[in-house]
Homo-oligomer: A and B are copies of this chain.
Amino acid sequence: MSLDEDLEEAAAAGVGLPAGLGLRRARAWLSRAVEPGTIDFWRYVEDVGPVEAVRRLRSGRAPERIRSLVGARAEQDATLADLTRAERCGARLVVPEDDEWPALPLHALTLAVSAEPREPANQSDRTKAPVPPLALWVRGPARLDELVDRSVAIVGSRASTAYGEHVAAELGHQLGERAWTVVSGGAFGIDAAAHRGALAAGAPTLAVLACGVDRPYPAAHGALFHRIAETGLLVSEWPPGCAPLRHRFLVRNRLIAALTRGTVVVEAAARSGAQATARRAQDLGRQVLVVPGPVTSAMSVGCHELLRDENLQAVLVTSAAQVVQAVGRIGDDLAPPVVGPTSLRDGLGDLAARVLDACPVRAGASPERLAAIAGCDVLEVLRVLPVLELADLVEWTGTGWRVAPPSGRKGGPGAAA
């Protein structure tokens, strides 16, 4: 069927039905019609609905202002080609009408865009506009909403130092061990180190790209992107084949901030892009976390500027445990606390709580590794583990210790306490 026939059918079927091909083709068409991040265009689609928006634009019935944004692209249709091209690389189009759409995290952008003035001249620069995406092209086996539910962005300089890469990889690894998803771009330096750390922990990660998910950039990261797409997700607002134009990275950055509970800046030069990302994260109500470094390192100057900025409530972090502590607090605001395990935890001493925090959720860790993460003695870990096991808070996997799953905990003897 032609696009227009599909649209007719979708329009006749009405709103509220599962996202059918017509709706999906409409969203695919919209994602190529105008650069993502354009406030007026998103508002128009929101007002009349995606199917109707495409029909009006193709038949010349849309307002002049909106038609001028689309221009000659109104007559083109690459939707089937784009969807086919996506399918060929294992990608799909996720639309706001899908269950998988991360509606809760992206709600921050919906709130932010409603505060923007109606007059286009007074709106934020398009590369910085706090506008939700119209659709997302995603490549990989994970479910988008589930993957970003407990996620943290790790961002930083491309020209990173060995120190910054070490810290990013270690944070990625430990967050992965604790079942937190690392979200980042796909750039050299901090981005890649964070992904690699998480992948080394066997955890899925999510890369938000500024180009098509079938041709990730930079090309030298082909193997890395392939690994990310095997267990996690590559995500982009741009259809397959799109090039990583310079301004698209700035547009993309708002998604990294919005999709996650907090943004960790690992290394940033003075007046750098990572600083701008941190500020946008705070504007969206997200926690800004900053890793300090040597004051003699140019790559930590931006981090220290963020920590010194009194208008920013940036929190200094030195470990994954501190990251989780900071963003977990925000999580508590979103979800009611689980009473059983929480009160069990409340009864723990400082040392026991640290050892519990150090336990990974998937593969077990040795007491030596737990001691290294918790920052205490192996003997102390060995003294505390039996207590945690009796309380059904940790379990032995045969090769190491990990956090006991909540289900096992509820039925356990400790739950009665």
Q: Which residues of A contact B (CB under 8 A)?
A: 163, 166-167, 270, 291-296, 300-301, 304, 307-308, 315-319, 322, 375
List chain B residues, Cβ under 8 A from A316: 292, 304, 307-308, 316
List chain B residues, Cβ under 8 A from A294: 163, 293-294
Instruction: Tell me the nearest residue of chain B to A306, going by C-beta.
Output: B316
**CB distance A322 to B296 under 8 Å?**
no
**CB distance B375 to A270 under 8 Å?**
yes
**CB distance B296 to A163 under 8 Å?**
yes
List chain B residues, Cβ under 8 A from A317: 308
**Contact of A167 with B295 at beta-carbon distance under 8 Å, contacts A270-B375, A375-B270 already known:** yes
A301 to B319, CA, bound (A): 11
Instruction: Tell me the nearest residue of chain B to A308, going by C-beta.
Output: B316
**CB distance A295 to B318 under 8 Å?**
yes
**CB distance A318 to B304 under 8 Å?**
yes
A316 to B305, CA, bound (A): 9
**Contact of A315 with B308 at beta-carbon distance under 8 Å, contacts A270-B375, A292-B293, A295-B291 already known:** yes
Knowing that A167-B296, A295-B318, A307-B316 are A-B contacts, what are 19 other residue pairs whose CB atoms are under 8 Å apart, sorted by A's residue number? A163-B294, A163-B296, A166-B296, A167-B295, A292-B292, A292-B295, A292-B300, A293-B294, A293-B295, A294-B294, A295-B319, A301-B318, A301-B375, A304-B316, A304-B318, A307-B307, A308-B316, A308-B322, A316-B316
A333 to B322, CA, bound (A): 36
List chain B residues, Cβ under 8 A from A322: 308
Instruction: Tell me the nearest residue of chain B to A163, going by C-beta.
Output: B294
List chain B residues, Cβ under 8 A from A270: 375
Q: A134 to chain B: closest CB distance in Å? A: 40
Instruction: Tell me the nearest residue of chain B to A319, going by C-beta.
Output: B295
